[in-house]
Structures are given as C-alpha cells and as structure tokens.
C-alpha cells in the first residue's frame, strides 16, 4: 500500500486554514472578540505552514 504522508499534512493544513477562515469571519462580522482574532490567525498560520511543508516534500520527491 502506498501511503503518502504529505497528503495528511495537506489535509490537516487545509482543515486548519478553512477553520481559521470561519473563526476570523466571525471576528469580522460578529463578536469582535480579540480571542477569535488571535486564535484565527494562529490556526491560519499553522494551516498554511502545514500545506507548504506538504508541497515542499512533494516537490522534492
């Protein structure tokens, strides 16, 4: 069985990026709670880094 763990990094990265988008959207449109802002940014940075790591791994073969 071929298991490409880069796929998992991409999946996790995409999930956190989308989740960050929802949390930040709630900050912008609703609560204005600073906790949503910082958490959303942290989730987003983590998600993007995971996706970049997956892409670098894939490009390097």
Partner 1 sequence: MRLHPTDYAIIALYFAFVIAVGFIIKRRIRSSNDFLNSGRNIPLWITSLAFISANLGAQEVLGMVASGAKYGIMTVHFYWVGAIFAMVFLGVFMMPFYYGSKARSVPEYLSMRFDEKTRGLNAITFAGMTVFSSGISLFALAKLLEITLGWDFDISIWVAAGIVMAYTFLGGLTSAVYNEVLQFFLIVLGLFPLVVVCLDDAGGWANIKANLAPQYTHAWEYLDKADRNSMGINAMSLIFGLGFVMSFGYWCTDFLVVQRAMIARNMNDAQRTPILAAVPKMLMPIIVVLPGVVAIALMQPGMQSGPDVFRIPTAPDGGFDYTMTLPSLLAHYYPSGLLGVGITALLASFMSGMAGNVTAFNSVFTYDIYQSYFVKQRSDRHYLLVGKWVTVVGILISILTAYVAQSFNNINDFLQLVFSFVNGPLFATFVLGMFWKRATGHGAFWGLLTGTLAAAATHGLTIAEGKGGWISPTFTIGSGMAQAFAVASVSFIVNFGVTIIVSLLTAPKPDSELRGLVYSLTEKPSTHGLPWYRKASSLGLLLVILTLLLNWIFY
Q: Which is nearer to partner 1, 22 or 56 (CB)?
A: 22
Residue 42 engages partner 1 in binding (rule: CB under 8 A)? yes
Contact (CB, 8 A) for 36 and 23: yes
Residue 3 near partner 1 by CB under 8 A: yes
Handedness of CA 46, 50, 56, 59 (dihedral sign): negative
Residue number with CB closer to partner 1 (11 or 59)? 11
**Closer of 41 and 59 to partner 1 (Cβ):** 41
| Residues 13, 54 contacting (CB under 8 angstroms) | yes
């Amino acid at each position: 069985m071929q298991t490409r763990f880069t796929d998992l990094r991409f999946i996790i990265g995409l999930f956190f990026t989308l989740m960050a988008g929802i949390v930040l959207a709630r900050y912008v449109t609703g609560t204005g709670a600073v906790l949503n802002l910082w958490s959303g940014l942290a989730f987003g940075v983590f998600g993007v880094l995971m996706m970049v790591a997956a892409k670098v791994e894939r490009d390097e073969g």
